[in-house]
Amino acid sequence: MNRVYNFSAGPSMLPLPVLERAASEMVSYGESGMSVMEMSHRSPDYETIINATETLLRKLMNIPDNYKVLFLQGGASTQFAAVPLNLIKRTGKADYIVSGQFSGKAFKEAQKLGYDVKCIATSKEDNFDHVPVVTKDMIRPDAAYLHICFNNTIYGTKYPYIPDTGDIPLVADMSSCIISEPVDVSKFGVIYAGAQKNMAPAGLTLVIVREDLLDYAEEKMPTMLEWKTMAENGSMYNTPPCYTIYIAKLVYEWILGLGGLDVMKEMNVKKANLLYDYLDSQEYYIAPVQKESRSMMNVTFVTGDADLDKKFASEAAKAGLKNLKGHRSVGGMRASIYNAMPYDGVVALVEFMKEFAKNNPKK
């Protein structure tokens, strides 16, 4: 089997046991005589799948009973509009922290809709090399919510803290760190995430929303963006992304089989520490992110020479270390070491980095 180490930021690698299980059930799921991709979403077989997926996720993340779990479409980017459309009517205004590209896009989307939204903090002037520290007194007391992006995929930063918002609902885009470690869901009003980094293939968007926040949707908003409608219809107001939800179910089972999110965090910390410890021990590569804001999912680094960076990504790919080129907006390299990346993959990357540095001295 010619499997490579795929460091893509998303769509990203999936656990091999999940792929093997899915392959074994591709032609016929259970006794159904058909693939999950062929099933009616209204069939008893599929109803069992989607219900089990929600049950497993609730167990995995310890989601309180007063939160709804929605399996949607459109990517996390669709939620940039859905969040204000569903929540801002509470008070008519909302606050945002801009710590990277996607939180910036979410902020601009809310502005585009004509709402009273305010960026209360940003690290843009420092090229997003850290997460801004925000205290409760910085948030407008009549804000309908505070929006953050918990892990910044492009820049390789993550919130080292959960902002204290008091009674103001905290809304978090967790696309690139969802189910990578335990999170106290009760500290958030809404959590949303695209699935293609840690949970499933592209096509599924997860929304976890506190029930008391379901009654503030704009009257003229598109039905497909209204969380309450989706909650009342069990995420099946229309045909959901059936197969992607099924893969998410297998991923949740895989993590629970390993011991849950506490064990998952231990594994992810071990991988991240290996890579960061090497970066901190040498001078050839530069890690631009401030240490207190480092992500354990997306590790960014550069040589300081654009030509060397390009050569690094090319030679790494030939060595079976794929998709290490940094995002086009920042350059350099980015190793996305999500849940499915094995420890041996990071070992292989560090060894390659050592060899590359030895064989390619800087001018």
Residue 143 above 70 pLDDT?
A: yes
Q: Which of 257, 289, 309 is the last residue of a domain?
A: 257
Number of structural domains (the chain) is 2
For the segment 236-250, what is each residue's pLDDT rounded down to a tens digit? 999 999 999 999 999
Could you tell me if residue 152 is inside a domain? yes
Categorize the per-residue pLDDT at 2 as very low, low, confident or very high, splitting at 50, 70 and 90.
confident
Residue found by looking up tokens 């506490």 in the block: 262
Q: Is the pTM of this model over 0.75?
A: yes
Same domain, 225 and 210: yes
Could you tell me if residue 118 is inside a domain? yes
DSSP single-letter state for residue 245: H
Same domain, 279 and 346: yes
Q: Which of 257, 278, 294 is the last residue of a domain?
A: 257
Categorize the per-residue pLDDT at 1 as very low, low, confident or very high, splitting at 50, 70 and 90.
low
Same domain, 108 and 132: yes
Q: What percent of the chain has pLDDT over 90?
A: 97
* 202, HSE (Cβ side, Cα atoms, 13 Å): 8
315: domain range? 260-359
For 121, residues 6+ apart whose C-beta sits below 8 A from its C-beta are 97, 98, 132, 133, 134, 138
Instruction: Give the DSSP H/E element, type plus range, for residue 210.
Output: strand 205-210
Decide the pairing of beta strands 67-72 and 205-210.
antiparallel
Q: What is the pLDDT of residue 19?
A: 97
Same domain, 278 and 218: no
Q: What is the distance between the terminal CA atoms of the chain, rounded to a whole angstrom?
A: 40
Nearest to 132 by CA among 92, 106, 104, 111: 104
For the segment 66-87, what is each residue's pLDDT rounded down to a tens digit? 999 999 999 999 999 999 999 9
The string of DSSP letters for 2-61 reads ---EE--SSS----HHHHHHHHHTSS--TTSSS-GGGS-TTSHHHHHHHHHHHHHHHHHH
Residue 313 above 90 pLDDT?
A: yes
Could you tell me if residue 352 is inside a domain? yes
Could you tell me if residue 9 is inside a domain? no
Residues listed for the chain: 363
Could you tell me if residue 65 is inside a domain? yes
- Burial label, 277 (beta-carbon count in 10 A; 0-12, 13-18, 19+): exposed
The string of DSSP letters for 178-195 reads TTSS---GGG-SEEEEES
Categorize the per-residue pLDDT at 362 as very low, low, confident or very high, splitting at 50, 70 and 90.
confident
Same domain, 225 and 311: no
Same domain, 197 and 48: yes
Q: Which of 218, 236, 257 is the last residue of a domain?
A: 257
For the segment 91-118, what is each residue's pLDDT rounded down to a tens digit? 999 999 999 999 999 999 999 999 999 9
Q: What is the pLDDT of residue 361?
A: 93
Residue 329 above 80 pLDDT?
A: no
Give the span between the Cα atoms of 199 and 205, in whole angstroms: 10
Q: What is the mean pLDDT of residues 303-320?
A: 96
DSSP single-letter state for residue 286: B
Phi-psi region of 282 (alpha: psi -120 to 50; beta: other; left: phi over 0): beta
Which CATH number goes with the domain that contains 275? 3.90.1150.10
Same domain, 112 and 76: yes
Could you tell me if residue 196 is inside a domain? yes
Same domain, 269 and 251: no
Same domain, 247 and 282: no
For the segment 179-213, what is each residue's pLDDT rounded down to a tens digit? 999 999 999 999 999 999 999 999 999 999 999 99
Could you tell me if residue 11 is inside a domain? no
For the segment 345-355, what is each residue's pLDDT rounded down to a tens digit? 999 999 999 99
Q: What is the pLDDT of residue 110?
A: 97
Same domain, 102 and 193: yes
Helices (H) then strands (E): counts for the chain:
9, 13
Give the span between the Cα atoms of 283 and 286, in whole angstroms: 7
Could you tell me if residue 7 is inside a domain? no
* Mean pLDDT, all residues of the chain: 96
Q: What is the pLDDT of residue 38?
A: 96
